[in-house]
Structure 1
């Protein structure tokens, strides 16, 4: 699944490059787009579940700059019983910008629970 986003001034530092912390916002937005394809975050919450981030990381390959349109490819890298590891690949045109990995744990009432079918079923 791919999302498009334009780099806005609020994403950038004084050199008009995306600040490192902003990539995590891009990953989160792409994750919400991925969830939308499966019924949405609201559907997950209606099922009594939520996702919390257990681990995150980002490898930076090239700077993203003001007004560029980035493509964010989102895919599950690993689906466990109570967690899902997502990979986010950001590109500007054909140039690799960054690769992020986030591990989400499905929780209910403060404890881990099995992933609902909407997260494990193919899109």
Structure 2
């Protein structure tokens, strides 16, 4: 059953610098777009980066996966839906689904580790943040045979 809560949506306009010689978004740019979407999602949920700093925590990327579905090009408006895929004790996995006018262009996920500062080691996600993240929409796996395939699931 799909989660009825709306995903956080981040939009980005494709610039010439984002495109390769063929005029389509270069594969590497989706990692940048997804990271920006994650930062803006956390900002909307948890407040400014200074809120993280007050709790002595940061989120660092540990793993990523991206599947490319259809091309996007210069001046396209990418709509990136962001959802919580998994929430562990020290890890947070965010799922991303990017489309242009409803046509899926890329899907993926990033796993982040809650990183204590100044200890420079993984630390449990603060309880206040966990409560907020647990209320966010969870990503759902597409049904078998679906036209839109999700990026492979992260290892547990």
Name the TM-score class by shorter chain: over 0.9
Structure 1 segments (4+ residues) deviating >4 Å: none
For 1:1-123, what aligned pairs fall within 5 Å after superposition? Answer: 1-37=8-44, 38-108=46-116, 109-116=119-126, 117-121=128-132, 122=135
The TM-score with structure 2 as length reference comes to 0.75
Structure 2 stretches of 5 or more lacking a match? Answer: 1-7, 137-156
Partner Cα separation in structure 1 for residue 83 and residue 53 of structure 2: 21
The TM-score with structure 1 as length reference comes to 0.94
Contact 1:32/1:40, CA 8 A, preserved across alignment:
no
Partner Cα separation in structure 1 for residue 109 and residue 21 of structure 2: 27
Select the structure that is richer in strand: 1
What RMSD, in angstroms, separates the aligned Cα atoms of the two structures?
Answer: 1.2
Structure number with bigger Rg: 2
Q: Aligned pairs, how many?
A: 123
Structure 1 stretches of 5 or more lacking a match? Answer: none
